[in-house]
Structure 1
Amino acid sequence: MYIAFDELPPHARLWIYQANRPLTEGEQAELAPLLKAFAADWSSHGRDLHASAVLLHDQFLVLANNESASSASGCSIDKSVNFVRELESRFGVSFFDRTQLAFLKNDKVELVPMQELKNKVAGGEISENTLYFDTLVNNYGDLQANWPREAKSSWLSRYF
């Protein structure tokens, strides 16, 4: 069952997939109905999930489920991963590259290879106050309140 993203309860569970590039306006127009259709059809052991899906900041695919209405099972999570892999193939984008970190700089998403993080911090390009898109955020309430969040408030705090 599809739920509009902005109508999710704060405890709704999230899965965030970061693209290795921003999706174009044309790609986003093609993607939007695919996301809605997936969320509407997403189920767990024959029970509809109360789900939503959206692309944020042109680059972050977010799948969500209201777990208090119906929990996602391993099989339903596998379905979502397969769906995201299909999107990768269709749009020529990677959603599973965890070696890139995303920051908000000058109102744009900037990707930084993980191996360059220490140098960027040492050079002052990334500070503890730089806004970081933490893909480990796992519920809608945290996404709304703290996303992106200051790097010092994430697992990156050890670098400062």
Structure 2
Amino acid sequence: MFSKACEYGIRASIFIATKSSKGIRVGIKDVAKEIDSPEPFTAKIMQILTKNGIIESSKGVGGGFEVSDNAVKSIKLIQIVDAIDGDTIYKGCGIGLKECSEIKPCPVHKEFKKVRELLLEMLTNTTLEQLASGVKTGDFFLRINDRE
């Protein structure tokens, strides 16, 4: 559903938020390892997230990535998705046509419109804090081997 970059961006944001809640900044190597992503690809994703104000970055000794307490409460999942993938996932055609509308619908338009609306609602109403809290409590996992 999401691009690989977006999936990694969501995972990275959640991981960084969980560490930030403990006052810990994380480096690119730790982020890449935690989200199981190649380091150069992770660095590009982190640049996008930083540029869009989702993640904060500081250089030097003790530097790394973090999310402020205020930001983690206000950042919505839609902001991460928009920053990396744009809005086509919840606005675009279900089968990828350039033009698809109520007037000229594609074969899946009617049903896919319902899916898009539900997805948009979830992305708009889910905060980074909600996702990070679930990981901290053990209700959610970022990696399969965390269950062991």
Q: Structure 1 length as normaliser, TM-score?
A: 0.26
As a proportion of its length, which structure holds more strand?
1
Q: Structure 2 length as normaliser, TM-score?
A: 0.27
As a proportion of its length, which structure holds more helix?
2
